[in-house]
Amino acid sequence: MISTSRRKLRTIQLKTETDRDCTRGRVSGPCRRYFGGTDRCGCLPVQSSCIMDMKKKKGKGTGLLKGMAIICVVLAFILAVLLIVGRSGRTGRKAASASTSSASVSSAAAMTSAGREAAASNNQESGQIEGEDDAAPADSAALRLTDADIHKGDLILVNPWNAYDFDANADSVDLVNILDNQSVTYPCDKSDFEIARHVLPHLDEMIAACNAAVGTNETSISSAYRSMDYQQNVWNETVANYGEAYARNYVAVPGYSEHHTGLAVDLGRTASDGTAESFTGSANADWINTNSWRYGFIRRYAEDKASITGCSNESWHYRYVGVPHAYFMYANNLCLEEYIEWLRENTSESAPYTITCDLGTWEVYFTQSRNPACPDEEYNVSGNNVDGYVITVKKN
C-alpha cells in the first residue's frame, strides 16, 4: 500500500512539473516569434532575446526618483531572498541532522549478523518506511517487524484454518528448480518441481544420508512447490476421481496447502528402472521419520495428530522448519499446531526457551512486539501466520 501511494504521489508530482514547464513555455503575443526548439514536454522555451525585446517596448525610465525607487525595490528584494535562504538553510540542516540520526539507527539495526540483514531486507520488502512506524523504538538495537512479517518465514502455520498469504510472500519467496540445482542426484517425478532456495541444500543432505543409510538410491520427490492453479487442478482431479470427502482428508483446499510455501515436499521411492515403489512402510520412510529433524524437516501429518492438523496420516509429506524446531517437535511428539501454541504459552522475550541437541543450542521465544530487542548473536525471525513472531537465536 505504501509503495502504491508513493507511486501515485510521484505521478502527481511529475504531472505538476510538466504543467509548470508548459506554463513557462507558453507565452502569448509577439514573443511567439522568438521561440525555438522544443523541451521534454513538447512545449517551446522562451529565449533571452525575447525578454530583452519586451523591455525595449516599455520605454526608458530617466528620473532620479524613479532610479532610487528601483534601487530600494531591488535592495528589499535581495534582503527578502537572504532571509528566505537563511531560513531554508536552517531547515535543511535540521533535515540533514534527522536523516543522519535515522541512518545511524538503520545501520545499527542492519549490523553484523545475517539475521539482522534479513530483518532489514524484510522491512524493505514489506515497504516499511523509516520513521513511519509510530511505535518505532528509540533503542537502535531493536528489530522493526511488520504485519506482513507475521505471514513469512519457516514457521508459518498453514493448515485448513490458516491460509497461505500469497501477497505477503510475493517478493520474498525464492524458488529454485530442484533437478537443475540439486547438489546430489535423486529423481523427481516431474522436471519442473521447485522448492525454496534455502531449503534445497538441507533436502539434498537428507536424501543423500537416507540413501547411504538404506543402501539404495531410490529416495525421490513426488511433489514440491504448488501454485494456486496447480493446487486447484489437484483438488479438482481428486474430487472427480474419489469424491469430495476423500479429497478433504488428503488434499488441501487451494490456498490452504503447505505446498504453497515452497517449504514442503512429498517423498517417494523410484527404482533404478524408473518404477515408482511404495514409500509408506519402506526403510527409507522409517529412516527419514527418525532422522529428518537433523536436516530441519518434520513429518507434518502423523496418524495420532490428524484431529489437530486436519489431515490424515501421510508418511511422505515433510515440511522444513529449521533444526531446533524440528528437533523439539520430534523429541516431544508435537505437531506444528501444538508447537506454535506451546511457544505462545510458554515463552516470551524476557523468558526464552533453550533448545539443545547434538547439533547446537538455540534460544527461542514467541512475541507479538513489532520491535523486540535485536539479538547480539546470529538469529532468525519467522512469523507464525497467526498472531506473532518466533525469534530463534543461535547460541555459541
Closest distance of CB 121 from Zn ion, Å: 29
Question: Based on CB atoms, which residue is closest to Zn ion, 317 or 370?
Answer: 317
Closest distance of CB 315 from Zn ion, Å: 11
Q: From the CB of residue 59, how many other CB atoms can be counted at a distance below 10 Å?
A: 7
Closest distance of CB 300 from Zn ion, Å: 8
Question: Based on CB atoms, which residue is closest to Zn ion, 208 or 224?
Answer: 224
- Nearest Cα neighbor of 228 from 193, 254, 192 is 254
Give the interface with Zn ion as residue ranges (CB under 5 A).
266, 317
Amino acid at residue number 179 = L
Q: From the CB of residue 336, how many other CB atoms can be counted at a distance below 10 Å?
A: 25
Please state, in angstroms and rounded to a whole number, the distance separating the CA atoms of residues 77 and 71.
10
Closest distance of CB 309 from Zn ion, Å: 12
Residue nearest to Zn ion (CB): 317
Please state, in angstroms and rounded to a whole number, the distance separating the CA atoms of residues 48 and 186.
76
Please state, in angstroms and rounded to a whole number, the distance separating the CA atoms of residues 307 and 302.
10
Question: Based on CB atoms, which residue is closest to Zn ion, 148 or 311?
Answer: 311
Please state, in angstroms and rounded to a whole number, the distance separating the CA atoms of residues 40 and 137.
45
Instruction: At 188, give phi and psi (nearest 5°).
Output: -120, 140
Instruction: At 326, give phi and psi (nearest 5°).
Output: -65, -40
Cα dist from 307 to 25, 117, 238, 303, 320, whole Å: 74, 39, 21, 9, 21
Question: Based on CB atoms, which residue is closest to Zn ion, 109 or 224?
Answer: 224
Question: Based on CB atoms, which residue is closest to Zn ion, 218 or 266?
Answer: 266
Closest distance of CB 393 from Zn ion, Å: 31
Active-site residues, by number, are 314
Phi-psi sector, 238: left (phi>0), alpha (psi -120 to 50), beta: alpha
Which grid coordinates belong to 121? 531486507
The single residue listed with the C-alpha cell 517478493 is 171
